[in-house]
Amino acid sequence: MGRDLKTSAILAALLLALPGLVRAAEPKPAAIQPWMNVKLSPDRRADLVISRMTLDEEIALLHGDFPVFMPKRPPGVQISAGYVKGLARLGIPDLTESDASLGVANSLRSHDDATPLPSGLSLAATWDAKTAYAGGAMIGKEARQKGFNVLLAGGVNLLRDPRNGRNFEYLGEDPLLAGTLAGAAIRGIQSNHIVSATKHFALNDQETGRTVLSAEIDEAAFRESDLLAFEIAIESGHPGSVMCAYNRVGGIYACENPFLLNNVLRTDWKYPGWVMSDWGAVHGVAAAKAGLDQESGQQLDKKVFFDAPLKDAVTSGEVSEAQIHKMTHRVLRSMFAAGLFEHPLQVGGLDTTADSRVAARAGEQGIVLLRNQGRVLPLAASAGHILVIGGHADIGVISGGGSSQVIPTGSVKFPPPKGAPSWGGGQMYFPSAPLAAIKARAPNADVTFNDGADPAAAAVLAARADVVVVFATQWSSEGMDISLTLPDGQDGLISAVAAANPKTIVVLETAAPVLMPWREKTAGILEAWFPGARGGESIARVLFGEANPQGRLPVTFPASEAQLAHPVLPGADQAQVETMGAGAVTPKPFDVRYTEGSDVGYRGFAKSGDKPLYPFGFGLTYSSFRYSGLKVVGGKTLRASFTVTNTGARSAIDTPQFYLISGPSRTQERLIGWSKVDLKPGESRSVTVTAPRRMLANWDAKSHGWRLSGGTYKVAVGSDASALTLKGAAQVTATTLQP
Ligand code: BGC
C-alpha cells in the first residue's frame, strides 16, 4: 500500500513539532459587537457578524489548513488535524481542530500527553449513555486544555463489516445503540464549549478503496440503518459540525452529494450546523452548491477549491453570494451555539492522572465476558501459579492507529503485524501492563510471564501452571481493513496452550470480532477490545472480580467469513487501499452493493437463521438472571414491563434488551430499547422500557416519511439478540412521522 500524504505529514511533524500557543480572539462588549449579546439566538448572532463581513472574509472561514503542510505556519498554530483562521477584527476565534473520538490525538506532536479512552466498540459495549457522556466530557476538557475548540469526534459509521479497519472508532452495528451513545458522547464533548464533528457522513463503512468506492443502497434501507444512526446522534447530540466522507454514495462523492447534504441533512433533519469535508475529500467548487460548507485540510486536495476558485465561481454567478452567506452562517451559528465566542480557550491544567480514571471506568465497563466454564473466573487472589502469556501483557495494552491515535506518555510502539501496512504508525501499546495489575492482585500467587513467541515452549510452561491467562491482540488502523483471524499465528499459540492446560483464559484485545477456532478448548474468554489508558488495570479488575463484567457485544461475532453479508470484502482484489499521496497506486473505482439493506449484523442473522459465534447483545456476568412477567402496552408506541431477578450468588449488573420481532407489514428483528440493572443476589427489580416510535416504523420512500402501520407488533425481551426468553405482542396505532 502506498504511504499517503498524511503519513508523510506525521513523520515530518515528529521532527518539526513545537509546543503551540493559542491565540485568543478578543471579544468586545455587546455594545460594540452586538453579536456578543448572549441573549440573542445563535442564528441572529451569526447574521449580525456576517453583516459586517466582506466576501473575502466570509470565504476565508470556508476553508482551512492541515497545519503540517502550511508553507509558513504562523506562531501559535499547533500541528494538529486542522486550523481555520478566525477574524480578530470582529472577535471571531480561530477554529483549532484535533482528532478524534477516543481522545485528543497527538501522533503529530512529540512530547505531548493526552488521555485515551477505550475504543468505540468498548464504549458501545457498555450500553451506557452516561459512560459515553463522561468520556466525551473528559476528552472535550482535554481538548480545551490543549488549545483545541473543535474535536473531530462523534464517529458513528455503522458496523456493516467486522473487517472495516476503523470499526474501533465507531459504535457497533445497531443504529439505536450507536446513535444514542454517539449523541451522548457529543453532548459530553460540547459541554466544554467546544464543537464536536460527527463523521463520516455517510457509508464510509470500509477502508478498502474508501476514496474511490461508491456505496450503493436502497433509500429506505439507508434511512433505516446508517442514516438512522447519524439521525439519532445528531438530534440527541446537536454536534456543531458534520464531516462528510471520502467515498461516493450512489455514484456521487459524499462531500458533493446533494441527496446526503441538502436533502437528508438540511431539509429532512433540519440540521443547522456546518458540513466540513474529510481531509482530501473535496473535488471541486460544485460541492458548495451540493451542501458542503467548509473545505478541511485544504493542502490535501488537488486545489484549494474553497478559496480563489470559490470566489471566481461567485464572480461568474455559478455560486450565488447568498450561498456564501448561508455557508458562513452555518459555521458561525455553530460557533455561537457551542459558546466559542464567550469561552475563549485557556491552555493548561491538564491532569491525565485524574482523566485516566474516566478511561479506566469506561474500559472496565466495556469488557465482555464471553465464556466462563466451571466458573474459572473470577480468579482467586491465591490462585497458585498464574502463567500470563503473550500480547505484550508485560508492557501494556494495544490501541488503534491512524488519525485517531492518542499516545499517552510512556507508550511503546511495535511494528505493524506481518502483512499489515505501515501507515497508521505501528502498534502502540499504552503503559498499563496487565501483568503488573495481575501481580498486584495476587501477591501470594506465583505470577510468571512468557511472551508466547514459541507456542511449544509456552505450552510446556502452561502444563505446569494452575491457571493460564493468554493475551491475544489484533491491531487495526485507519487506511486498512483487517481479517477475522488473529494475526501473527496467535490462534496456534492459544490452541497449544489450551491443549496443555484446560484452565486457560483468553483475554482478547481486538479491534473488532475475531474467529476463535480454539474456543471449545478454553475455560474462559474476555473481550477487552482496545481498553484505553488504564486497560491493564481494567482487565485485572474484571479477572479478579473487583469489578463486575457487564459489557454486552455491540456487534455480532460471526462463526465464519461465509456468514458475512459480503464473504469477500468488496475491493479486496485492489492493489492497495489508500489513494492519496505521491507514489500511491490508485485503485479503480468500484461499487459496494449493500444488498443486505438494513439487515445489518444481528438483523441479517435473524433472517438467515445462521448461528453466530456470539450474538449481538451477548455478555455473561459472575451471576445469573431470570426475566419474568412481561407486560406489553401498545398505543402510540410499545412499552414493555418485566421483572429481572438476580438468581446467582453475587451482585451483578444485567442489561435486559427489548426487541421488535415483527410488525403488521414486516418481519425484522430490531433493538428497540434496553435497560441496565444492578442487583444483589436474590434481588428483583421491575423494569420498564419504552420503544422510540421511529424504531417501530419503516421508511416509506413514496410518502417520504416514517410509516408506522397500525396492527399487531410482536416483541421479545432477552439477554441478547438470540436469547429472547419473554415474548409478547400489542396493538400500535397507525401514524406517519415526519423525517
Ligand atoms: C480521517 C478523519 C480525520 C481527518 C483529520 C482523515 O483522514 O478520515 O477521520 O478527522 O483525517 O485528521
Least confident of 7-16, 476-485, 498-507: 7-16
| The ligand 1 atom nearest the CA atom of 297 | 5
**Chain centre distance of CA 565:** 21
pLDDT at position 16 is: 37
Residue 20 pLDDT greater than 50, yes or no: no
What tens digit of pLDDT does each residue of 177-225 get?
999 999 999 999 999 999 999 999 999 999 999 999 999 999 999 999 9
Question: Could you tell which of 99, 102, 151, 204 is best to mutate to test the pocket of ligand 1, judged by most ligand atoms within 8 Å of the CB?
Answer: 99
Residue 579 pLDDT greater than 50, yes or no: no
Q: 565 CB contacts (<8 Å, ≥6 apart)?
A: 160, 161, 594, 595, 596, 599, 600, 604
pLDDT at position 383 is: 80
Q: 715 CB contacts (<8 Å, ≥6 apart)?
A: 632, 638, 640, 658, 659, 660, 661, 672, 691, 727, 728, 729, 730
- Listed as own residue / partner, the contacts of 701-706 with beta carbons closer than 8 Å and 24 or more positions apart are 701/219, 701/220, 703/736, 704/739, 705/736, 705/737, 705/738, 705/739, 706/736, 706/737, 706/738, 706/739
DSSP assignment string, 163-228 = T-TTGGGS--S-HHHHHHHHHHHHHHHHTTS-EEEEEEETT---STTTTT-EEE--HHHHHTTHHH
As a whole number of angstroms, the distance between CA 293 and CA 329 comes to 9
Rounded to the nearest whole angstrom, what is the distance from the C-alpha of residue 106 to the centroid of ligand 1? 13
More confident residue, 111 or 724: 724
Rounded to the nearest whole angstrom, what is the distance from the C-alpha of residue 492 to the centroid of ligand 1? 36
| The ligand 1 atom nearest the CA atom of 100 | 10
Residue with the smallest CA separation from ligand 1 atom 8 is: 278
pLDDT at position 381 is: 87
Residue 307 pLDDT greater than 90, yes or no: yes
Do the beta carbons of residue 622 and residue 244 sit within 8 Å? no
Confidence of residue 582 (pLDDT cuts 50, 70, 90): low
**DSSP for residue 357:** H
Rounded to the nearest whole angstrom, what is the distance from the C-alpha of residue 614 to the centroid of ligand 1? 32
Residue with the smallest CA separation from ligand 1 atom 4 is: 279
CA-angle at 242, arms to 240 and 243, nearest 5°: 135
List phi, psi (to 5°) of 613: -65, -50
Find the residues whose C-beta lies inside 6 A of ligand 1: 6, 81, 99-100, 152, 199, 278-279, 403
Q: What is the mean pLDDT of residues 10-17?
A: 39
Residue 9 pLDDT greater than 60, yes or no: no
Q: What is the mean pLDDT of residues 634-648?
A: 98
As a whole number of angstroms, the distance between CA 207 and CA 247 comes to 9
Residue 222, CA distances (Å) to 219, 257, 327, 597, 666 in order: 5, 15, 26, 7, 17
Rounded to the nearest whole angstrom, what is the distance from the C-alpha of residue 391 to the centroid of ligand 1? 28
Percent of the chain with pLDDT over 70: 94
As a whole number of angstroms, the distance between CA 433 and CA 154 comes to 28
Residue 114 pLDDT greater than 50, yes or no: yes
Q: Nine-digit cell at 357?
A: 480514571
Q: What is the mean pLDDT of residues 563-580?
A: 80
| The ligand 1 atom nearest the CA atom of 200 | 9
pLDDT at position 641 is: 98
Residue 309, CA distances (Å) to 253, 318, 321 in order: 19, 11, 14
Confidence of residue 577 (pLDDT cuts 50, 70, 90): low
Residue 18 pLDDT greater than 50, yes or no: no
Least confident of 56-65, 72-81, 362-371: 72-81
Helix 226-237 to helix 175-190 angle (10° resolution) is 30
Residue 704 pLDDT greater than 50, yes or no: yes
| The ligand 1 atom nearest the CA atom of 246 | 8
As a whole number of angstroms, the distance between CA 66 and CA 49 comes to 26
Residue with the smallest CA separation from ligand 1 atom 11 is: 279
In this structure, what is the dihedral angle of CA atoms 277, 278, 283, 284, given to the nearest 10 degrees? 20
As a whole number of angstroms, the distance between CA 618 and CA 620 comes to 7
What tens digit of pLDDT does each residue of 519-537 get?
999 999 999 999 999 999 9
List phi, psi (to 5°) of 416: -60, 155
Three-state SS string over 523-569 comes to CEEEECCCCCCCHHHHHHHHHCCCCCCCCCCCCCECCCHHHCCCCCC
As a whole number of angstroms, the distance between CA 734 and CA 739 comes to 16
Quickly tell me which residue has 415474548 as its cell: 727
Least confident of 56-70, 268-282, 372-386, 580-594: 580-594
pLDDT at position 573 is: 84
Confidence of residue 21 (pLDDT cuts 50, 70, 90): very low
Rounded to the nearest whole angstrom, what is the distance from the C-alpha of residue 478 to the centroid of ligand 1? 9
Question: Could you tell which of 78, 246, 247, 478 is best to mutate to test the pocket of ligand 1, judged by most ligand atoms within 8 Å of the CB?
Answer: 478
As a whole number of angstroms, the distance between CA 189 and CA 134 comes to 9
Quickly tell me which residue has 429481572 as its cell: 644
Residue with the smallest CA separation from ligand 1 atom 5 is: 81
Give the containing element (helix H, strand E) for 434: helix 434-441
What tens digit of pLDDT does each residue of 225-281 get?
999 999 999 999 999 999 999 999 999 999 999 999 999 999 999 999 999 999 999
Do the beta carbons of residue 654 and residue 685 sit within 8 Å? no
pLDDT at position 11 is: 40
Question: Could you tell which of 139, 198, 278 is best to mutate to test the pocket of ligand 1, judged by most ligand atoms within 8 Å of the CB?
Answer: 278
pLDDT at position 3 is: 35
| The ligand 1 atom nearest the CA atom of 169 | 9
Rounded to the nearest whole angstrom, what is the distance from the C-alpha of residue 152 to the centroid of ligand 1? 8
Quickly tell me which residue has 452555518 as its cell: 330
Q: What is the CA radius of gyration of the chain?
A: 25
Question: Could you tell which of 196, 200, 244, 403 is best to mutate to test the pocket of ligand 1, judged by most ligand atoms within 8 Å of the CB?
Answer: 403
Residue with the smallest CA separation from ligand 1 atom 2 is: 278
pTM of the model: 0.96
From the CB of residue 299, how many other CB atoms can be counted at a distance below 10 Å?
A: 17
Rounded to the nearest whole angstrom, what is the distance from the C-alpha of residue 7 to the centroid of ligand 1? 12
Confidence of residue 27 (pLDDT cuts 50, 70, 90): low
Rounded to the nearest whole angstrom, what is the distance from the C-alpha of residue 403 to the centroid of ligand 1? 6
Q: Can you name the residues that pair with 654 across neighbouring β-strands?
A: 677
pLDDT at position 317 is: 97
As a whole number of angstroms, the distance between CA 407 and CA 404 comes to 10
From start to end of 257-395, where are the E strands? 274-277, 368-372, 385-389
Question: What is the pairing mode between strands 667-674 and 639-646?
Answer: unpaired
Do the beta carbons of residue 593 and residue 17 sit within 8 Å? no
DSSP assignment string, 271-291 = --SEEEE-TT----THHHHHT
As a whole number of angstroms, the distance between CA 369 and CA 602 comes to 19
Residue 738 pLDDT greater than 90, yes or no: no
From the CB of residue 235, how many other CB atoms can be counted at a distance below 10 Å?
A: 13
**DSSP for residue 68:** G
Q: Nine-digit cell at 579?
A: 489513494
Q: What is the mean pLDDT of residues 9-32?
A: 52
What tens digit of pLDDT does each residue of 651-691 get?
999 999 999 999 999 999 999 999 999 999 999 999 999 99
DSSP assignment string, 638-678 = -EEEEEEEE-SSS-EEE--EEEEEE-SS-EEEEEEEE--EE
